[in-house]
Amino acid sequence: MDTLPSPPPGRTAGLMQFVRRRIAAREWPPGTRLPSLRGMALQQGVSKSTVVEAYDRLAAEGAIQARAGAGFYVAGPLAPLALAEIGPRLNRQIDPLWVSRQSLDLGAQASKPGCGWLPDSWMPQDAIRRALRQVARDPDAPLTDYAPALGLPTLRSEIARHLGTRGLAVDPRHILLTDSGTQAMDLLCRFLIQPGDAVLVDDPCYFNFLALLRAHRAHIIGVPHDPDGPDMDRFEAALREHRPRFYLSNTGPHNPTGARLSADKARRIRALAQAHDLILIEDDIFGDFESSPSARLTADDSRDRVAQVGSFSKTLSASLRCGYLIAREDWLDALADLRTATTFSGAGLTQAVIARLLRDGAWQQHTRRLRQRLARARPRAVRLLNALDVRPWHEPEDGMFLWCRLPAGIDGARLAQAGLQQGLMLAPGNVFSQSQSAGGMMRFNVSQMDDPRLPDRLATLLKS
Amino acid sequence: MDTLPSPPPGRTAGLMQFVRRRIAAREWPPGTRLPSLRGMALQQGVSKSTVVEAYDRLAAEGAIQARAGAGFYVAGPLAPLALAEIGPRLNRQIDPLWVSRQSLDLGAQASKPGCGWLPDSWMPQDAIRRALRQVARDPDAPLTDYAPALGLPTLRSEIARHLGTRGLAVDPRHILLTDSGTQAMDLLCRFLIQPGDAVLVDDPCYFNFLALLRAHRAHIIGVPHDPDGPDMDRFEAALREHRPRFYLSNTGPHNPTGARLSADKARRIRALAQAHDLILIEDDIFGDFESSPSARLTADDSRDRVAQVGSFSKTLSASLRCGYLIAREDWLDALADLRTATTFSGAGLTQAVIARLLRDGAWQQHTRRLRQRLARARPRAVRLLNALDVRPWHEPEDGMFLWCRLPAGIDGARLAQAGLQQGLMLAPGNVFSQSQSAGGMMRFNVSQMDDPRLPDRLATLLKS
């Protein structure tokens, strides 16, 4: 469509390459201000006019952006032209969206030990069919009107009641229903951060946290994760060095490691949050998989600086989209406004179907069965993997994930790429790692490993 | 929670007030760079240290933000602390979210001539109940798994088929299903703009465009709207002066004016877009209300710089959330990635219910009936309003909206505030107006005016 610009002269091209490499390596993350024209000219030993031309061409490509009177800045990775320039296509197997794309778009016949959710056959299809028929008959069902801004009151009450049975006291007025847990976190990001703001995540963490935070052009700081929570020395050092706006983590069964936050670390994190003006975002979407409640970042006596996110995608249905967000009343108001501005309203009919499944206890019964089934699947998967010299980093008490070390010399990204050729979807460690230090790791889902051909297929793959 | 800072000394307080007023009046919209410390000191005749203190205190309040090495910027209106400082609560009746909040949260017993959608009783409840039962019985229904990244293929095909009957050739592979039309536009904003980028809208325009664009910290430029589309002289002048990234508009039945884009203006806008590197976003969610298709920004021969948004919220159900976005294949890929990063996936079950209603023709039949019903309601509403000296600016051929001039001396915002006290929800002109030049206007919805008490209630309100 557009005509291509003429190729840049040598020095300009060299300088453009220099800038592109720093952007691609994320030494200069989105939002970074580039050196001034004069500073760059001095630093690189070129003329100021060479810098002007290089910056202008990079801006035309979309890799950087001029701000009036304020210099040049690295564009976000998701700006349209920047995608082509520095985007994930170059290295899709470690791009955090890679696993999502494969999981969402691979056919049902594919084997998905790298998938982040339970197989369709484990889900309560009959209960959902029954709830759909009940809603179709209900004269008061919300069939056509918009849902209230915070979401259907009946479902908010059911959620509060359920969290009560898990020991969390929540007022239904402090619950905002969203279309997914991810949307809840996206709203929190919109509310809390600006491009360039520092945020803390676990390293490794759920890969979509990285995609989400990059979409918000956050400066992402990873803190190494232990089986009982973050490495506290590194956590505290990151607070001092980067002054992050929030720490985002899933606590009980951690994704991808299956770690479980200890009460001691939870206390220390809360105290540090208070001292360093840090907000805590607790992604609790795996909490319903716990057989006994683990420690939480949320403490009943104060929600001042903690927001909690939940969802039904993992335990009920990912097709009935619904998540929720629990936060201070004054935040919730602003978050509901933001939701109205950006998606208008929630899915009332979906919320009504889920409310029925919670009210009649079908969902609670189903999650109990899921916990038992996972408890049986976990040791089977551990044996299978150990036999292949794939070693769990930690044996989790709950949940579906095993975070494993691959046999020496095997690179997870290459293995996943090879697996895909054979219809085998794997989750390579580096998609979870902000520091890209998990090349020898892989996440397995114990519920997706019952295919009897899987051991042989994995063995062949590991040998090739 | 936080301790309050000590009150600022006089000069500092005065300067802070000066800055706050400019922000509140949107003379300095979000993303604006504040004058330098030295510049501000000279301009205001104060010392540089006074400016430093004022800026630091405003930054601590969240009204402005420091960027390392780049000065101070006006924070977004939706940043948490800024909300309290400059937020809409001060003047909610002209805040663009005001009408949304009232429409979503007012009880069913309220009379809502200001509402943006059709009454529940006009919607195809029986057809939806039937489709729910059919999906509950369907062995292949997507009950629990995530939907593919672009959305359910059957619904994408049905949408392409439907648009074909309206004369628009669309490949289903170029359709991305979203949770709402608003979400589709939000994704386009995320993809296309950075804070501070200029964008064009109609003045007046759908109020939620203003809320959405403010959430993206765009620099919003309003172009006056005529009954056949934008004022072209002002449109072209805005392109030259502001170099906007995109123009966002709904074409056939325009919200709030009911205007209809002429073929001539559509051609001129496309030519200007080409010449000025402008992207066109066509919000077509009212297109299904047209009895004959009007001109569109989208031309079949090229979607290079046009994205089109549609939805079923207005013609089928706002509780079955589903919108769609049609764009170039390379954009769609990036937009689907952004959607995955920010809400993960779409609502497969909802999409399956809607696909059934399109496939068996129930929705098409329903929209035909809606058009007939609106054609009967429109002249009734015009007579009712004329009798009250409320004068339609233009008599639309289609759709539900009448954009009206109130009797001289009556302010729409005050009228809406008074109406609300009496359970009457009105849509004051200025919520639609970026320039705040529609204080004497009001939008009425002809489908929401059948309450026999309405004429008397409106008359009383206008007299008080």
Residue of A106, A140, A274, A337 to mutate, testing the B interface (most B Cβ within 10 Å of its Cβ): A337
d(CA A253, CA A445): 13
Residue of A319, A339, A366 to mutate, testing the B interface (most B Cβ within 10 Å of its Cβ): A319
Other beta carbons within 10 Å of B366: 18
**What's the mean pLDDT in A215-230?**
92
Question: How distant, in Å, are the alpha carbons of A204, A248, B195, B288, B368 from that of B361?
Answer: 49, 46, 43, 14, 11
ipTM of the complex: 0.81
Are A184 and A309 contacting, i.e. CB atoms less than 8 angstroms apart? yes
- The nearest alpha carbon in chain A to B35 belongs to A69
Beta strands in A355-425 (DSSP E): 391-392, 401-405
Bigger pLDDT: B318 or A78? B318
Which residue's structure tokens are 């520095």?
A: A86
The model's pLDDT over A342-389, given as tens digits with 9 standing for 90+, comes to 998 889 999 999 999 999 999 999 999 999 999 999 999 999 999 999
User: With an 8 Å Cβ cutoff, are B212 and A341 in contact?
Assistant: yes
Closest CB to A186: pick one of B71, B317, B343. Answer: B343
First to last CA, chain A: 44
Q: Poorest-confidence range of A157-166, A192-201, B131-140?
A: A192-201
User: What residues of B are in contact with residue A192 (Cβ under 8 Å)?
Assistant: 80
User: With an 8 Å Cβ cutoff, are B146 and A65 in contact?
Assistant: no
Residue of B304, B342, B366 to mutate, testing the A interface (most A Cβ within 10 Å of its Cβ): B342
Q: How confident is the model at residue A131 (pLDDT cuts 50, 70, 90)?
A: very high
Which residue's structure tokens are 């904003």?
A: B189
Bigger pLDDT: A62 or B192? B192
Please calculate the CA angle A57-A63-A67 and round it to the nearest 5 degrees.
80
Are A211 and A96 contacting, i.e. CB atoms less than 8 angstroms apart? yes
CA atoms within 13 Å, Cβ hemisphere of B318: 21
User: With an 8 Å Cβ cutoff, are B128 and A143 in contact?
Assistant: yes
The model's pLDDT over A109-128, given as tens digits with 9 standing for 90+, comes to 678 899 999 999 999 999 99
pLDDT in the model for residue B83? 27
pLDDT in the model for residue A1? 33
User: Three-class SS of residue B143?
Assistant: coil
User: What residues of B are in contact with residue A212 (Cβ under 8 Å)?
Assistant: 341-342
First to last CA, chain B: 44
> What residues contact B9, with CB distance under 8 A and at least 6 apart?
B53
d(CA B125, CA B121): 8
User: With an 8 Å Cβ cutoff, are A148 and B105 in contact?
Assistant: yes
CATH of B139-360 given 3.40.50.720, 3.40.640.10, 3.40.50.800, 1.10.10.10 = 3.40.640.10
d(CA A121, CA A209): 27
Fold of A91-122+364-463: Aspartate Aminotransferase, domain 1 (3.90.1150)
User: What residues of B are in contact with residue A335 (Cβ under 8 Å)?
Assistant: none
Q: How confident is the model at residue A462 (pLDDT cuts 50, 70, 90)?
A: very high
Nearest CA of chain A to the CA of B408: how many Å? 32
Bigger pLDDT: B101 or A201? A201
Q: What would the DSSP string read from start to end of B340-404?
A: HHHH----HHHHHHHHHHHHTSHHHHHHHHHHHHHHHHHHHHHHHHHHTT-EESS--SSSSEEEE
Structure-token pair, residue B397: 């051929």
User: What residues of A are in contact with residue B343 (Cβ under 8 Å)?
Assistant: 179-180, 182-183, 186, 321
Nearest CA of chain B to the CA of A163: how many Å? 23
Nearest CA of chain B to the CA of A181: how many Å? 8
- The nearest alpha carbon in chain A to B305 belongs to A1
Are B319 and A177 contacting, i.e. CB atoms less than 8 angstroms apart? no
- The nearest alpha carbon in chain A to B123 belongs to A144
| Domain locations in chain B as residue ranges | 10-86, 91-122+364-463, 139-360
Nearest CA of chain B to the CA of A348: how many Å? 5
User: Three-class SS of residue A298?
Assistant: coil
User: With an 8 Å Cβ cutoff, are A319 and B179 in contact?
Assistant: no
Per-residue pLDDT of chain B (464 residues; tens, 9 = 90+): 333 345 566 788 888 878 877 776 556 766 778 888 888 888 888 898 899 989 988 887 777 888 766 788 887 643 332 322 323 333 455 576 777 777 776 766 678 899 999 999 999 999 999 999 999 999 999 999 888 889 999 999 999 999 999 888 899 999 999 999 999 999 999 989 877 789 999 999 999 999 899 888 888 999 999 999 999 999 999 999 999 999 999 987 999 999 999 999 999 999 999 999 899 999 999 999 999 888 999 876 677 899 999 999 999 999 999 999 999 888 888 898 889 889 988 899 999 999 999 999 999 999 999 999 999 999 999 999 999 999 999 999 999 999 999 999 999 999 998 888 888 999 999 999 999 899 999 999 999 999 999 999 999 999 98
User: With an 8 Å Cβ cutoff, are B344 and A208 in contact?
Assistant: yes
Are B265 and B235 contacting, i.e. CB atoms less than 8 angstroms apart? no
pLDDT in the model for residue B421? 82
User: With an 8 Å Cβ cutoff, are B147 and A337 in contact?
Assistant: no
Which residue's structure tokens are 């601590």?
A: B60
Are A31 and A75 contacting, i.e. CB atoms less than 8 angstroms apart? no
Bigger pLDDT: A290 or B20? A290
User: Three-class SS of residue B88?
Assistant: helix
- The nearest alpha carbon in chain A to B332 belongs to A80
pLDDT in the model for residue B87? 30
User: What residues of A are in contact with residue B97 (Cβ under 8 Å)?
Assistant: 337, 340-341
pLDDT in the model for residue A108? 63
User: What residues of B are in contact with residue A346 (Cβ under 8 Å)?
Assistant: 321
Q: Find the farthest-apart pair of alpha carbons in chain B and give their distance in angstroms, rounded.
A: 76
d(CA B331, CA B307): 9
For B464, counting Cβ atoms within 10 Å of its Cβ (0-12 exposed, 13-18 middle, 19+ buried), the class is: exposed
User: What residues of A are in contact with residue B337 (Cβ under 8 Å)?
Assistant: 78, 88, 97, 101, 211
- The nearest alpha carbon in chain B to A30 belongs to B194
User: Three-class SS of residue A385?
Assistant: helix
User: With an 8 Å Cβ cutoff, are A346 and B321 in contact?
Assistant: yes
User: What residues of B are in contact with residue A108 (Cβ under 8 Å)?
Assistant: 145
d(CA B241, CA A244): 38
User: With an 8 Å Cβ cutoff, are B67 and A196 in contact?
Assistant: yes
Other beta carbons within 10 Å of B49: 12
User: With an 8 Å Cβ cutoff, are B143 and A133 in contact?
Assistant: no
Fold of B10-86: Arc Repressor Mutant, subunit A (1.10.10)
Are A403 and A391 contacting, i.e. CB atoms less than 8 angstroms apart? no
User: What residues of A are in contact with residue B211 (Cβ under 8 Å)?
Assistant: 337, 340-341
Q: Which secondary-structure segment (H or E) carries A269?
A: helix A263-276
d(CA A305, CA B432): 35
User: With an 8 Å Cβ cutoff, are A70 and B33 in contact?
Assistant: yes
Closest CB to A334: pick one of B71, B83, B101. Answer: B83
**What's the mean pLDDT in A287-316?**
88
User: With an 8 Å Cβ cutoff, are B344 and A196 in contact?
Assistant: no
Nearest CA of chain B to the CA of A169: how many Å? 21
pLDDT averaged over every residue in chain A: 87
User: With an 8 Å Cβ cutoff, are B100 and A344 in contact?
Assistant: yes
User: With an 8 Å Cβ cutoff, are A1 and B331 in contact?
Assistant: no
- The nearest alpha carbon in chain A to B98 belongs to A337
Structure-token pair, residue A174: 């402090």
Nearest CA of chain A to the CA of B464: how many Å? 31
- The nearest alpha carbon in chain A to B206 belongs to A341
Structure-token pair, residue B141: 């229904």
d(CA A191, CA A189): 5
User: With an 8 Å Cβ cutoff, are B80 and A331 in contact?
Assistant: yes
d(CA B124, CA B362): 8
Closest CB to A146: pick one of B65, B208, B318. Answer: B318
- Helix, strand, coil shares, percent, chain B, to 5: 45, 15, 40
CATH 3.40.50.9100 fits A136-359, yes or no: no
How many A×B Cβ pairs under 8 Å? 257
User: What residues of A are in contact with residue B83 (Cβ under 8 Å)?
Assistant: 334
User: What residues of B are in contact with residue A206 (Cβ under 8 Å)?
Assistant: none
Are A63 and A82 contacting, i.e. CB atoms less than 8 angstroms apart? yes
Closest CB to B347: pick one of A125, A135, A347. Answer: A347
User: With an 8 Å Cβ cutoff, are B345 and A1 in contact?
Assistant: no
Nearest CA of chain A to the CA of B413: how many Å? 20
User: With an 8 Å Cβ cutoff, are B183 and A78 in contact?
Assistant: no
Residue of B274, B321, B332, B357 to mutate, testing the A interface (most A Cβ within 10 Å of its Cβ): B321
Nearest CA of chain A to the CA of B30: how many Å? 12
Q: What are phi and psi of B171, to 5 degrees?
A: -80, 130
d(CA B178, CA B275): 31
Q: How confident is the model at residue A81 (pLDDT cuts 50, 70, 90)?
A: very low
Which residue's structure tokens are 């300009």?
A: A12
User: With an 8 Å Cβ cutoff, are A78 and B148 in contact?
Assistant: no
> What residues contact B21, with CB distance under 8 A and at least 6 apart?
none
d(CA A434, CA A413): 15
Closest CB to B97: pick one of A75, A120, A341. Answer: A341
